[in-house]
Amino acid sequence: MITLPAAIEEQINRFDRQRSLMIGITNAVIAAWCAYRLIWLMYVAVTFSGFFGSLIFSFVLWGVVGIVAAALAVIFLQRAKHLRTAAEGTPSVTNEG
């Protein structure tokens, strides 16, 4: 399980399994779209021989949105997985030493 600050974990724990799964999958799709946009921006930059002001802004914007979406996807999908294993009564596997 991912260690989060107590205030953030309290907010995430308000969602049930179905809602956590839906939010996690949606954020994973958004992160994949941002990765596609970043690849496309790199292609445009190489094609036009360099970064312009608008390309730098777009690169930073899509990079930040992608990182936040990927982090949220991991957090909410881990929460959905944890709730599924708790509902089934099977212990969740952790890699803690």
DSSP 13-58: TTS-HHHHHHHHHHHHHHHHHHHHHHHHHHHHHHHTTS--HHHHHH
Q: What is the pLDDT of residue 32?
A: 97
7 found inside a domain:
no
Helix (H, G, I), strand (E, B) or coil at 97: coil
Is residue 81 predicted with pLDDT exceeding 60? yes
92 lies in a domain? no
Domain-located, residue 4: no
Would residue 49 count as lying in a domain?
Answer: yes
Within-domain flag for 2: no
The pLDDT-based confidence of 97 (bands split at 50, 70, 90) is: very low
Give the domain extent around 69: 24-86
Q: Looking at residue 2, what is its pLDDT?
A: 66
Q: Count up the domains in the chain and report the number.
A: 1
Residue in the block written with tokens 């690849």:
39
In a domain, 8, yes or no: no
Asked if residues 78 and 1 have their Cβ atoms less than 8 Å apart, the reply is yes
The pTM for the full model equals 0.76
Residue 48 falls inside a structural domain: yes
Q: What is the mean pLDDT of residues 11-18?
A: 78
91 occurs within a structural domain:
no
